[in-house]
Structure 1
Amino acid sequence: MLILGLTGSIGMGKSTTAKLFEEAGVPVYDADAAVHELYEGQAVPAIEAEFPGTTADGKVDRARLSARVVHDPAAMRRLEKIVHPMLGASRQKFFDNAEAAGKPVVVVDVPLLFETGGENRVDAVVVVTTSAELQRERVLARGTIDRDKLDAILARQMPDAEKRKRADFIVDTSHGLDPVRARIRDILAEAVKMPRRRT
Protein backbone atom coordinates (compact mmCIF):
# COMPACT_ATOMS: atom_id res chain seq x y z
CA MET A 1 0.00 0.00 0.00
CA LEU A 2 1.33 3.41 -0.96
CA ILE A 3 0.92 6.33 1.42
CA LEU A 4 0.54 9.80 -0.09
CA GLY A 5 1.06 12.80 2.20
CA LEU A 6 -1.29 15.66 1.31
CA THR A 7 -0.31 19.14 2.44
CA GLY A 8 -0.65 22.79 1.54
CA SER A 9 -0.85 26.15 3.25
CA ILE A 10 -4.10 27.66 4.50
CA GLY A 11 -6.55 28.63 1.75
CA MET A 12 -4.84 26.57 -0.96
CA GLY A 13 -7.74 24.12 -1.39
CA LYS A 14 -6.31 21.16 0.53
CA SER A 15 -9.61 20.13 2.14
CA THR A 16 -11.37 20.20 -1.22
CA THR A 17 -8.56 18.16 -2.77
CA ALA A 18 -8.82 15.63 0.09
CA LYS A 19 -12.57 15.28 -0.65
CA LEU A 20 -11.81 14.70 -4.33
CA PHE A 21 -9.33 11.93 -3.42
CA GLU A 22 -12.14 10.34 -1.38
CA GLU A 23 -14.49 10.77 -4.33
CA ALA A 24 -11.91 8.82 -6.38
CA GLY A 25 -12.17 5.94 -3.87
CA VAL A 26 -9.01 6.70 -1.88
CA PRO A 27 -9.26 6.50 1.95
CA VAL A 28 -8.14 9.80 3.53
CA TYR A 29 -6.79 10.15 7.09
CA ASP A 30 -7.49 13.70 8.30
CA ALA A 31 -4.99 14.54 11.04
CA ASP A 32 -6.91 17.65 12.18
CA ALA A 33 -10.16 15.70 12.48
CA ALA A 34 -8.33 12.99 14.44
CA VAL A 35 -7.05 15.61 16.91
CA HIS A 36 -10.60 16.99 17.27
CA GLU A 37 -11.79 13.49 18.08
CA LEU A 38 -9.06 12.99 20.70
CA TYR A 39 -9.92 16.39 22.23
CA GLU A 40 -13.49 15.16 22.71
CA GLY A 41 -12.58 11.79 24.16
CA GLN A 42 -9.44 9.81 24.79
CA ALA A 43 -7.02 12.74 25.38
CA VAL A 44 -9.24 14.72 27.74
CA PRO A 45 -8.19 13.22 31.12
CA ALA A 46 -4.45 13.42 30.36
CA ILE A 47 -4.72 17.01 29.08
CA GLU A 48 -6.75 18.11 32.12
CA ALA A 49 -4.17 16.48 34.43
CA GLU A 50 -1.27 18.23 32.67
CA PHE A 51 -3.04 21.56 32.03
CA PRO A 52 -5.73 21.98 34.74
CA GLY A 53 -8.70 24.11 33.70
CA THR A 54 -8.33 23.55 29.96
CA THR A 55 -11.28 21.15 29.63
CA ALA A 56 -15.01 21.60 30.18
CA ASP A 57 -18.00 19.27 29.78
CA GLY A 58 -15.73 16.32 29.02
CA LYS A 59 -14.02 18.10 26.10
CA VAL A 60 -10.85 20.10 25.65
CA ASP A 61 -11.54 23.82 25.45
CA ARG A 62 -9.31 24.53 22.45
CA ALA A 63 -9.13 28.29 23.07
CA ARG A 64 -8.01 27.82 26.69
CA LEU A 65 -5.51 25.11 25.78
CA SER A 66 -4.13 27.18 22.92
CA ALA A 67 -3.70 30.20 25.22
CA ARG A 68 -1.79 27.95 27.65
CA VAL A 69 0.67 26.44 25.14
CA VAL A 70 0.96 28.77 22.14
CA HIS A 71 3.76 30.96 23.55
CA ASP A 72 5.39 28.25 25.67
CA PRO A 73 7.51 25.75 23.70
CA ALA A 74 8.01 23.51 26.76
CA ALA A 75 4.23 23.32 27.33
CA MET A 76 3.71 22.61 23.63
CA ARG A 77 6.18 19.69 23.91
CA ARG A 78 4.29 18.34 26.95
CA LEU A 79 1.04 18.53 24.98
CA GLU A 80 2.63 16.77 21.98
CA LYS A 81 3.88 13.99 24.30
CA ILE A 82 0.25 13.32 25.23
CA VAL A 83 -1.34 13.68 21.80
CA HIS A 84 1.26 12.27 19.39
CA PRO A 85 1.25 8.64 20.62
CA MET A 86 -2.59 8.62 20.50
CA LEU A 87 -2.52 10.10 16.99
CA GLY A 88 0.05 7.53 15.94
CA ALA A 89 -2.22 4.72 17.15
CA SER A 90 -5.27 6.13 15.36
CA ARG A 91 -3.27 6.56 12.13
CA GLN A 92 -1.98 2.98 12.36
CA LYS A 93 -5.54 1.69 12.81
CA PHE A 94 -6.55 3.64 9.67
CA PHE A 95 -3.63 2.05 7.73
CA ASP A 96 -4.50 -1.45 9.00
CA ASN A 97 -8.16 -1.04 7.97
CA ALA A 98 -7.22 0.27 4.50
CA GLU A 99 -4.71 -2.56 4.02
CA ALA A 100 -7.30 -5.14 5.11
CA ALA A 101 -9.72 -3.63 2.57
CA GLY A 102 -7.09 -4.09 -0.16
CA LYS A 103 -6.65 -0.37 -0.90
CA PRO A 104 -3.56 0.23 -3.09
CA VAL A 105 -3.22 3.93 -2.07
CA VAL A 106 -4.20 5.99 0.96
CA VAL A 107 -3.88 9.72 1.64
CA VAL A 108 -2.73 11.27 4.92
CA ASP A 109 -3.93 14.88 5.12
CA VAL A 110 -1.44 16.80 7.31
CA PRO A 111 -1.37 20.62 7.18
CA LEU A 112 2.12 20.88 8.72
CA LEU A 113 3.61 17.81 7.00
CA PHE A 114 7.03 19.31 6.20
CA GLU A 115 7.16 21.39 9.38
CA THR A 116 6.84 18.21 11.50
CA GLY A 117 9.12 15.94 9.42
CA GLY A 118 6.08 13.99 8.23
CA GLU A 119 7.47 13.56 4.71
CA ASN A 120 9.62 10.72 6.11
CA ARG A 121 6.50 8.77 7.07
CA VAL A 122 4.93 8.81 3.58
CA ASP A 123 5.95 7.46 0.17
CA ALA A 124 5.24 10.62 -1.83
CA VAL A 125 4.06 14.17 -1.09
CA VAL A 126 1.21 15.98 -2.84
CA VAL A 127 1.31 19.77 -2.37
CA VAL A 128 -1.87 21.77 -3.02
CA THR A 129 -1.25 25.29 -4.28
CA THR A 130 -2.83 28.39 -5.82
CA SER A 131 -1.79 32.02 -6.31
CA ALA A 132 -1.05 34.13 -3.22
CA GLU A 133 -3.90 36.49 -4.24
CA LEU A 134 -6.47 33.71 -4.50
CA GLN A 135 -5.21 32.20 -1.23
CA ARG A 136 -5.75 35.48 0.68
CA GLU A 137 -9.11 36.04 -1.01
CA ARG A 138 -10.36 32.56 -0.01
CA VAL A 139 -9.20 32.78 3.60
CA LEU A 140 -10.52 36.30 4.21
CA ALA A 141 -13.86 35.39 2.57
CA ARG A 142 -14.42 32.79 5.33
CA GLY A 143 -14.89 35.69 7.73
CA THR A 144 -13.23 33.83 10.59
CA ILE A 145 -9.70 35.21 10.19
CA ASP A 146 -8.54 38.78 9.68
CA ARG A 147 -5.43 39.90 7.78
CA ASP A 148 -3.21 40.01 10.89
CA LYS A 149 -4.14 36.51 11.97
CA LEU A 150 -3.64 35.24 8.42
CA ASP A 151 -0.16 36.80 8.34
CA ALA A 152 0.66 35.13 11.69
CA ILE A 153 -0.51 31.73 10.38
CA LEU A 154 1.47 32.10 7.16
CA ALA A 155 4.57 33.07 9.14
CA ARG A 156 4.37 29.69 10.95
CA GLN A 157 3.95 27.70 7.75
CA MET A 158 6.72 26.82 5.31
CA PRO A 159 6.49 29.13 2.25
CA ASP A 160 4.43 27.72 -0.62
CA ALA A 161 7.37 27.95 -3.04
CA GLU A 162 9.50 25.79 -0.72
CA LYS A 163 6.70 23.21 -0.37
CA ARG A 164 6.32 23.03 -4.14
CA LYS A 165 10.07 22.47 -4.51
CA ARG A 166 9.90 19.49 -2.14
CA ALA A 167 6.70 17.98 -3.60
CA ASP A 168 6.49 14.81 -5.68
CA PHE A 169 3.18 16.01 -7.09
CA ILE A 170 1.59 19.46 -7.27
CA VAL A 171 -2.16 20.11 -7.48
CA ASP A 172 -3.11 23.64 -8.58
CA THR A 173 -6.62 24.54 -7.42
CA SER A 174 -6.81 27.90 -9.23
CA HIS A 175 -9.06 26.75 -12.09
CA GLY A 176 -11.98 24.89 -10.50
CA LEU A 177 -12.65 21.26 -9.63
CA ASP A 178 -12.41 19.45 -12.97
CA PRO A 179 -8.68 20.09 -13.50
CA VAL A 180 -8.11 18.91 -9.90
CA ARG A 181 -10.06 15.70 -10.56
CA ALA A 182 -7.99 15.08 -13.70
CA ARG A 183 -4.76 15.76 -11.79
CA ILE A 184 -5.78 13.30 -9.06
CA ARG A 185 -6.39 10.60 -11.69
CA ASP A 186 -2.88 11.23 -13.08
CA ILE A 187 -1.32 11.16 -9.61
CA LEU A 188 -3.02 7.86 -8.72
CA ALA A 189 -1.93 6.27 -12.02
CA GLU A 190 1.66 7.34 -11.36
CA ALA A 191 1.70 6.66 -7.61
CA VAL A 192 0.92 2.94 -7.92
CA LYS A 193 4.14 2.52 -9.95
CA MET A 194 6.31 4.29 -7.36
CA PRO A 195 8.67 2.52 -4.97
CA ARG A 196 7.86 2.66 -1.25
CA ARG A 197 9.95 5.38 0.33
CA ARG A 198 8.84 5.89 3.91
CA THR A 199 11.32 5.25 6.72
Structure 2
Amino acid sequence: MIILGLTGSIGMGKSTAASMLRRLGCPVHDADASVHKLYARGGKAVPAIQGLFPDVVKNGSVDRAALATAVLGRPDALKRLEAAVHPLTRADADDFLKRCARRGVPVAVMDIPLLYETKGEQRVDAVIVVTAPAWLQRQRVLARPGMNAAKLANILARQVPDAEKRRRADFVVPTGLGRRLTLLHLRRIVVAMKQRQGRVWSPTRKV
Protein backbone atom coordinates (compact mmCIF):
# COMPACT_ATOMS: atom_id res chain seq x y z
CA MET A 1 0.00 0.00 0.00
CA ILE A 2 1.25 3.46 -0.95
CA ILE A 3 0.72 6.24 1.58
CA LEU A 4 0.51 9.70 0.06
CA GLY A 5 0.87 12.83 2.17
CA LEU A 6 -1.26 15.79 1.10
CA THR A 7 -0.39 19.25 2.36
CA GLY A 8 -0.27 22.91 1.45
CA SER A 9 -0.40 26.30 3.10
CA ILE A 10 -3.70 27.86 4.11
CA GLY A 11 -5.89 28.80 1.16
CA MET A 12 -3.97 26.70 -1.35
CA GLY A 13 -6.85 24.33 -2.15
CA LYS A 14 -6.00 21.31 -0.03
CA SER A 15 -9.62 20.52 0.87
CA THR A 16 -10.58 20.60 -2.80
CA ALA A 17 -7.68 18.28 -3.66
CA ALA A 18 -8.66 15.89 -0.88
CA SER A 19 -12.20 15.73 -2.24
CA MET A 20 -10.85 15.00 -5.72
CA LEU A 21 -8.61 12.22 -4.41
CA ARG A 22 -11.64 10.61 -2.79
CA ARG A 23 -13.41 10.78 -6.17
CA LEU A 24 -10.38 9.02 -7.66
CA GLY A 25 -10.90 6.14 -5.22
CA CYS A 26 -8.32 7.03 -2.57
CA PRO A 27 -9.48 6.99 1.05
CA VAL A 28 -8.35 10.16 2.83
CA HIS A 29 -7.55 10.62 6.51
CA ASP A 30 -8.21 14.22 7.55
CA ALA A 31 -5.90 15.20 10.43
CA ASP A 32 -8.01 18.24 11.33
CA ALA A 33 -11.20 16.17 11.45
CA SER A 34 -9.40 13.64 13.64
CA VAL A 35 -8.51 16.36 16.15
CA HIS A 36 -12.09 17.66 16.14
CA LYS A 37 -13.29 14.15 16.96
CA LEU A 38 -10.77 13.79 19.79
CA TYR A 39 -11.84 17.17 21.25
CA ALA A 40 -15.60 16.57 20.96
CA ARG A 41 -17.82 15.31 23.77
CA GLY A 42 -16.67 11.79 24.62
CA GLY A 43 -13.45 12.27 22.64
CA LYS A 44 -10.35 10.46 23.82
CA ALA A 45 -8.36 13.67 24.27
CA VAL A 46 -10.89 15.40 26.53
CA PRO A 47 -9.81 13.85 29.88
CA ALA A 48 -6.12 14.54 29.25
CA ILE A 49 -6.74 18.14 28.22
CA GLN A 50 -9.04 18.70 31.18
CA GLY A 51 -6.26 17.54 33.45
CA LEU A 52 -3.85 20.04 31.89
CA PHE A 53 -6.20 22.98 31.28
CA PRO A 54 -9.42 22.50 33.29
CA ASP A 55 -11.00 25.78 32.17
CA VAL A 56 -10.97 24.92 28.45
CA VAL A 57 -13.34 21.94 28.73
CA LYS A 58 -16.95 23.08 28.56
CA ASN A 59 -20.01 20.83 28.48
CA GLY A 60 -17.79 17.79 28.02
CA SER A 61 -15.88 19.01 24.99
CA VAL A 62 -12.78 21.10 24.39
CA ASP A 63 -13.32 24.75 23.52
CA ARG A 64 -10.63 25.15 20.87
CA ALA A 65 -10.56 28.94 21.09
CA ALA A 66 -10.07 28.78 24.85
CA LEU A 67 -7.37 26.13 24.42
CA ALA A 68 -5.54 28.29 21.88
CA THR A 69 -5.60 31.16 24.36
CA ALA A 70 -4.35 28.89 27.15
CA VAL A 71 -1.19 27.91 25.23
CA LEU A 72 -0.59 31.20 23.41
CA GLY A 73 2.91 32.43 24.17
CA ARG A 74 3.54 29.51 26.55
CA PRO A 75 5.91 27.02 24.84
CA ASP A 76 5.94 24.69 27.85
CA ALA A 77 2.14 24.52 27.90
CA LEU A 78 2.10 23.81 24.17
CA LYS A 79 4.62 21.00 24.61
CA ARG A 80 2.46 19.42 27.33
CA LEU A 81 -0.58 19.64 25.08
CA GLU A 82 1.26 18.07 22.15
CA ALA A 83 2.61 15.27 24.38
CA ALA A 84 -0.96 14.42 25.38
CA VAL A 85 -2.65 14.76 21.99
CA HIS A 86 -0.08 13.61 19.43
CA PRO A 87 -0.11 9.92 20.47
CA LEU A 88 -3.91 9.93 20.13
CA THR A 89 -3.85 11.50 16.67
CA ARG A 90 -1.14 9.06 15.60
CA ALA A 91 -3.23 6.12 16.87
CA ASP A 92 -6.25 7.36 14.93
CA ALA A 93 -4.15 7.64 11.76
CA ASP A 94 -2.74 4.13 12.29
CA ASP A 95 -6.24 2.72 12.71
CA PHE A 96 -7.22 4.34 9.41
CA LEU A 97 -4.23 2.81 7.63
CA LYS A 98 -4.91 -0.61 9.12
CA ARG A 99 -8.47 -0.48 7.79
CA CYS A 100 -7.15 0.52 4.36
CA ALA A 101 -4.62 -2.32 4.37
CA ARG A 102 -7.26 -4.89 5.32
CA ARG A 103 -9.39 -3.71 2.39
CA GLY A 104 -6.46 -3.97 -0.01
CA VAL A 105 -6.44 -0.25 -0.80
CA PRO A 106 -3.58 0.51 -3.23
CA VAL A 107 -3.22 4.22 -2.37
CA ALA A 108 -4.23 5.88 0.92
CA VAL A 109 -3.93 9.61 1.56
CA MET A 110 -2.98 11.42 4.76
CA ASP A 111 -4.31 14.99 4.65
CA ILE A 112 -1.97 16.81 7.07
CA PRO A 113 -1.97 20.64 7.08
CA LEU A 114 1.30 20.86 9.08
CA LEU A 115 2.99 17.88 7.46
CA TYR A 116 6.46 19.39 7.13
CA GLU A 117 6.17 21.27 10.41
CA THR A 118 5.62 17.95 12.24
CA LYS A 119 8.07 15.87 10.14
CA GLY A 120 5.11 13.98 8.71
CA GLU A 121 7.01 13.34 5.48
CA GLN A 122 8.79 10.55 7.33
CA ARG A 123 5.50 8.65 7.66
CA VAL A 124 4.45 8.70 4.00
CA ASP A 125 5.85 7.35 0.73
CA ALA A 126 5.48 10.60 -1.20
CA VAL A 127 4.17 14.12 -0.63
CA ILE A 128 1.75 16.16 -2.73
CA VAL A 129 1.89 19.91 -2.17
CA VAL A 130 -0.98 22.00 -3.51
CA THR A 131 -0.13 25.57 -4.42
CA ALA A 132 -1.57 28.74 -5.93
CA PRO A 133 -0.34 32.30 -6.52
CA ALA A 134 -0.01 34.38 -3.35
CA TRP A 135 -2.65 36.86 -4.49
CA LEU A 136 -5.19 34.07 -5.01
CA GLN A 137 -4.29 32.47 -1.68
CA ARG A 138 -4.89 35.80 0.06
CA GLN A 139 -8.17 36.32 -1.77
CA ARG A 140 -9.44 32.86 -0.79
CA VAL A 141 -8.47 33.17 2.87
CA LEU A 142 -9.76 36.69 3.45
CA ALA A 143 -13.14 35.63 2.06
CA ARG A 144 -13.56 33.23 5.00
CA PRO A 145 -15.82 34.32 7.87
CA GLY A 146 -13.92 35.89 10.75
CA MET A 147 -10.65 36.11 8.84
CA ASN A 148 -8.57 39.26 8.46
CA ALA A 149 -5.09 40.23 7.28
CA ALA A 150 -3.57 40.07 10.77
CA LYS A 151 -4.89 36.55 11.38
CA LEU A 152 -3.63 35.42 8.00
CA ALA A 153 -0.16 36.85 8.68
CA ASN A 154 -0.07 35.07 12.05
CA ILE A 155 -1.04 31.72 10.48
CA LEU A 156 1.51 32.04 7.67
CA ALA A 157 4.25 32.87 10.20
CA ARG A 158 3.72 29.45 11.80
CA GLN A 159 3.79 27.52 8.52
CA VAL A 160 6.67 26.41 6.35
CA PRO A 161 6.70 28.87 3.39
CA ASP A 162 5.01 27.73 0.19
CA ALA A 163 8.26 27.92 -1.78
CA GLU A 164 9.98 25.60 0.71
CA LYS A 165 7.05 23.16 0.61
CA ARG A 166 7.24 23.06 -3.18
CA ARG A 167 10.98 22.50 -3.07
CA ARG A 168 10.62 19.51 -0.76
CA ALA A 169 7.55 17.97 -2.42
CA ASP A 170 7.51 14.87 -4.60
CA PHE A 171 4.56 16.30 -6.53
CA VAL A 172 3.43 19.91 -6.87
CA VAL A 173 -0.19 20.41 -7.91
CA PRO A 174 -1.42 23.87 -8.99
CA THR A 175 -4.93 24.79 -7.90
CA GLY A 176 -5.19 28.24 -9.43
CA LEU A 177 -5.68 27.21 -13.05
CA GLY A 178 -9.07 25.56 -12.76
CA ARG A 179 -10.42 22.40 -11.16
CA ARG A 180 -10.07 20.37 -14.35
CA LEU A 181 -6.30 20.82 -14.45
CA THR A 182 -6.00 20.10 -10.71
CA LEU A 183 -7.95 16.86 -11.15
CA LEU A 184 -5.79 15.88 -14.14
CA HIS A 185 -2.61 16.33 -12.10
CA LEU A 186 -4.00 14.29 -9.23
CA ARG A 187 -5.22 11.50 -11.50
CA ARG A 188 -1.76 11.16 -13.04
CA ILE A 189 -0.19 10.96 -9.59
CA VAL A 190 -2.60 8.27 -8.40
CA VAL A 191 -2.04 6.19 -11.54
CA ALA A 192 1.75 6.48 -11.12
CA MET A 193 1.61 5.60 -7.41
CA LYS A 194 -0.38 2.44 -8.08
CA GLN A 195 2.63 1.11 -9.99
CA ARG A 196 4.96 1.51 -6.99
CA GLN A 197 5.66 -0.54 -3.90
CA GLY A 198 5.13 1.20 -0.57
CA ARG A 199 8.05 1.44 1.86
CA VAL A 200 6.15 2.79 4.88
CA TRP A 201 3.48 0.10 4.96
CA SER A 202 5.10 -3.09 3.72
CA PRO A 203 3.01 -6.05 2.48
CA THR A 204 4.23 -8.12 5.45
CA ARG A 205 3.15 -5.60 8.09
CA LYS A 206 0.49 -7.03 10.38
CA VAL A 207 -2.93 -5.37 10.35
- Mapped partners of 1:115, 1:194: distance in 2: 26
Superposition deviation, residue 196 in structure 1: 3.2
- Which residue number in structure 2 is paired with residue 149 of structure 1? 151
- Which residue number in structure 2 is paired with residue 22 of structure 1? 22
Q: 5 Å matches for 1:114-153?
A: 114-153=116-155
Answer yes or no: is 1:48 the counterpart of 2:50: yes
Structure 2 SS opposite 1:103: coil
- Is the CA contact 1:124–1:197 (under 8 Å) kept in the aligned structure 2? no
After superposition, give the CA deviation of every residue in 1:3-49 in whole Å (9 maximum; x if it has no partner): 00000000000011001001111000000000000001111111111
Q: What is the TM-score with the length of structure 2 in the denominator?
A: 0.93
Structure 2 SS opposite 1:6: strand
- Which residue number in structure 2 is paired with residue 36 of structure 1? 36
- Is the CA contact 1:46–1:82 (under 8 Å) kept in the aligned structure 2? yes
RMSD: 1.2
Structure 2 SS opposite 1:35: helix
Q: Percent identity?
A: 52
- Which residue number in structure 1 is paired with residue 64 of structure 2? 62
Superposition deviation, residue 198 in structure 1: 3.9
Amino acid at match of 1:34: S
Answer yes or no: is 1:12 the counterpart of 2:18: no
- Which residue number in structure 1 is paired with residue 204 of structure 2? none
Structure 2 SS opposite 1:53: helix
Structure 1 SS opposite 2:54: coil
- Which residue number in structure 2 is paired with residue 162 of structure 1? 164
Q: What is the TM-score with the length of structure 1 in the denominator?
A: 0.97
Amino acid at match of 2:132: T
After superposition, give the CA deviation of every residue in 1:131-153 in whole Å (9 maximum; x if it has no partner): 00000000011132100110111
Extract unaligned runs of 5+ from structure 1: none
- Mapped partners of 2:168, 2:22: distance in 1: 24
Amino acid at match of 2:2: L
Extract unaligned runs of 5+ from structure 2: 202-207
- Mapped partners of 1:127, 1:54: distance in 2: 34
- Mapped partners of 2:124, 2:161: distance in 1: 20
- Which residue number in structure 2 is paired with residue 95 of structure 1? 97
- Is the CA contact 1:21–1:184 (under 8 Å) kept in the aligned structure 2? yes
After superposition, give the CA deviation of every residue in 1:136-195 in whole Å (9 maximum; x if it has no partner): 000011132100110111111111011000000011000221111111110011112335
Runs of 4+ deviating beyond 4 Å: none
Higher mean C-alpha displacement, 94-103 vs 184-193? 184-193
Answer yes or no: is 1:192 the counterpart of 2:199: no
Superposition deviation, residue 88 in structure 1: 1.1
Amino acid at match of 2:75: P
Residue 78 of structure 1 is aligned with which of 73, 80, 86? 80
- Is the CA contact 1:171–1:180 (under 8 Å) kept in the aligned structure 2? yes
